[in-house]
């Protein structure tokens, strides 16, 4: 299990960050949902709340923990972006982390906000997907080959 980079931890703790969870249904079709609650408490695992047991996303997560399938998470704010690939490790239906998440949901969305459970994802791969970082890697790998010429033209 890898520790998260500082920048990723900062992004995870920022409510303004876009946080997308990607799962697959029975036939492999991708399913993406935004999870505003997604964060980390231990800098090693991802947690997020599930609002309802019967959602497609939740069923896909149950299928993933039952039959050992991966899920993916995208964290983006401005030009900073990370992808985390991992596996659901736990689904919490009570206990201290569950309590922390329901308290946060109610603080954010009002006293009647509710959650069904909390997923804990153990990352297996963390990828920096920020354009600057990816561009640098691409440049190192293939030189100028993929650049449009107007990008490198001399200014008049």
Partner 1 sequence: MSATQELGVQALAGKYPDVPKSIILKLDLQRRGIAFTEATADATSQPYYRGPEQTAFSSKETTTRPFPGPLLLRDGTSVLASPVKGQFSDPYTIDFLDGKFFVFDKGERIDEVDFSPRPEFYGKLTSRGVPMESIAWSRPQRLDIYPYRYCHYWDTRDQCRFCAFFTDLKQQKQLAGDSYAKVVHPEDIYETVREALKEPGRFSQINLTAGTDYSGDVPFEKEVERYVEVLQAIGRNFRTRRFPSQLIAPAYSKQQVKRLYEETGLTSYCPDIEVWDKELFKWICPGKEKWFGRDYWIRSAVDAVEIFGKGNVYTNFVAGVEFAQPNGFTSMDQALDSNFEACEYFAKNGVIYLSLVWTPWKGTGLGGQKQPPLEYYVRLVRGLVEIRNHYGLASDNDDFKHCGNHGDSDLERLN
Q: Which residues contact partner 1 (rule: CB under 8 A)?
A: 53, 59, 62-63, 65-67, 89-96, 98-99, 102-103, 106, 114-115, 117
Q: Judged by CB, which is closer to partner 1: 55, or 128?
A: 55
Residue 114 C-beta: closest distance to partner 1, Å: 7
Provide the token pair at 7. Answer: 């920048």
The CB-side HSE value for 10 (13 A sphere, CA atoms) comes to 6
Residue 39 C-beta: closest distance to partner 1, Å: 17
Helices and strands in the chain: count of H runs, count of E runs: 4, 6
3-state per-residue secondary structure call for 70-111: CEEEEEEECCEEEEEEEEEEEEECCCHHHHHHHHHHHHHHCC
- The CA distance from 47 to 37, in Å, is 8
Look at residues 116, 115, 58, 55 and name the one whose alpha carbon lies nearest to residue 88.
58
Q: Judged by CB, which is closer to partner 1: 75, or 120?
A: 120
Residue 101 C-beta: closest distance to partner 1, Å: 9
Q: Judged by CB, which is closer to partner 1: 41, or 133?
A: 41
Q: Judged by CB, which is closer to partner 1: 2, or 56?
A: 56
Residue 7 C-beta: closest distance to partner 1, Å: 30
């Amino acid at each position: 299990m890898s520790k998260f980079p500082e920048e990723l931890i900062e992004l995870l703790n920022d409510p303004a960050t876009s946080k997308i969870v990607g799962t697959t249904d029975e036939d492999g079709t991708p399913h993406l949902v935004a999870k505003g609650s997604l964060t980390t408490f231990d800098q090693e695992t991802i947690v997020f709340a599930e609002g309802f047991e019967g959602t497609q996303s939740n069923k896909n997560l149950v299928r993933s923990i039952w039959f050992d399938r991966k899920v993916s998470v995208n964290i983006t704010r401005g030009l900073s972006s990370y992808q985390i690939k991992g596996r659901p490790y736990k689904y919490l239906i009570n206990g201290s982390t569950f309590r922390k998440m329901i308290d946060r949901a109610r603080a954010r969305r009002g006293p009647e906000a509710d959650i069904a459970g909390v997923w804990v994802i153990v990352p297996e791969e963390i990828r920096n997907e920020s354009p600057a970082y990816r561009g640098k890697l691409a440049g190192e790998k293939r030189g100028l080959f993929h650049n449009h010429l107007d990008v490198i033209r001399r200014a008049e």
